[in-house]
Amino acid sequence: MTNKKALYTHVSEIDHEKYWIMCPVCNGKTRVQIYKNTILMNFPLFCPKCKFVHIIDVKELKITIKSARR
């Protein structure tokens, strides 16, 4: 297999980049950081600004809101 080396390079590049999750409602910064390849399902994301817990899914930095409660 010739493409094995390329795969390793790709993985180590992703490891270093972290992104803050922004609140999907008020756009405020939360205290949760994710990687580009992080996958979250039914994650309770607390937003300190609107004081809501948003239940979210995250895939490839794309946030989907499922529900919200105080």
Q: Contact positions toward Zn ion, by CB under 5 A? A: 23, 25-26, 28, 47, 49-50
Complex with Zn ion: residue 28 or 44, whichever CB lies closer? 28
Cα gap 34→19, rounded to integer Å: 5
Complex with Zn ion: residue 40 or 50, whichever CB lies closer? 50
Confirm if 24 and 54 have CB atoms less than 8 A apart.
Answer: yes
Report which DSSP code applies to 43: E
Coil, helix or strand for 32? strand
CB of 66 to Zn ion, least distance (A): 15
CB of 36 to Zn ion, least distance (A): 22
